[in-house]
Amino acid sequence: MVLNLEIGSVFSPASPMAEATLRLLYLLLVLGTGVLVVVAALVVISAIRFRDRGRELPEAGERRKAEVLWILGAAVLLLVVLVPTVQTMRIVDPPAGARAPDLLVIGHQFWWEVRYPASGIVAANEIHIPAGTALLVRVESADVIHNFWVPQLARKIDATPGRPVAMWLQANRPGVFLGACGEFCGVEHAWMRIRVIAHTAPQYAAWQGAQVRPPARPVASDAIAGERLYQQLACATCHASSVAVGPDLTHLASRETLAGGVIENTAANLTRWLANPDAVKPGSLMPNFHLAAREVGELVAYLETLK
């Protein structure tokens, strides 16, 4: 199966915020086209009318009238744009200091950390939300400037280190909505993908239930050996949720994708990744541990138990 990586379009909005933004975009396109047509027509008309150099220019009074009309016209146009823009901002952006965020999205080179403060759930790259509910999201960065953008659901917003910002995230219907980092942040910028997975209420409750439970202990011998290796290699030095240099792996096997949402989460891809991360995603911070094939197999067997 080939992983769908096609980012959603702003022209198929699936949230009140994205719908409002698209309405504003259409209004600006229509008004902008109108201005273009009028100005182009006037240029052509005056070029033809005043082609003859001997012809007198309009009187000063006439010209002043035209200037006043121009200024008034532009002012009215700006007002026509201002009102719906402010209305759209009120729909898209939460009021300052609204309430504690439901969700923290933190950009990293080159993946997204996702935290749910109320439940303590920590995820990566895949954001599970209940459909039909607006979540208040705080967007921040752990290193450089990233940009969180899921075109069908929400506005585009910079994730700037030290400057957290807030936005609404909502999906009108259950489904998967793809987005990406929208600000150049390093070699793997293009492969810093986002999947928002909107669930029905029971599906979302089931997902939450599974995430707050610790995964079942490994029983197969290779998985047990893999767990030992995971501890020996001190993988948690980077991958624990408290450190978050790399994604938290507590429920890795429950995710659809690996490596910043770029490859499907399968045993084969996990094997490729552990054998040589740089070959899968050059520039990733995941080091190559030069593991033997047997060790990779054991680690994969263990990681696959982390449902």
- Contact residues toward ligand CUA (CB under 6 A) are 107, 146, 181, 183-185, 189, 192
- Our CB check for ligand CUA shows the closer of 50 and 184 to be 184
To ligand CUA, the closest distance from the beta carbon of 141 in angstroms equals 8
To ligand CUA, the closest distance from the beta carbon of 291 in angstroms equals 28
To ligand CUA, the closest distance from the beta carbon of 171 in angstroms equals 22
- Our CB check for ligand CUA shows the closer of 148 and 204 to be 148
To ligand CUA, the closest distance from the beta carbon of 139 in angstroms equals 12
To ligand CUA, the closest distance from the beta carbon of 184 in angstroms equals 6
- Our CB check for ligand CUA shows the closer of 146 and 155 to be 146
- Our CB check for ligand CUA shows the closer of 146 and 255 to be 146
- Our CB check for ligand CUA shows the closer of 126 and 304 to be 126
To ligand CUA, the closest distance from the beta carbon of 122 in angstroms equals 19
- Our CB check for ligand CUA shows the closer of 30 and 245 to be 245
Q: Which residues contact 228 (CB under 8 A, 6 or more apart)?
A: none
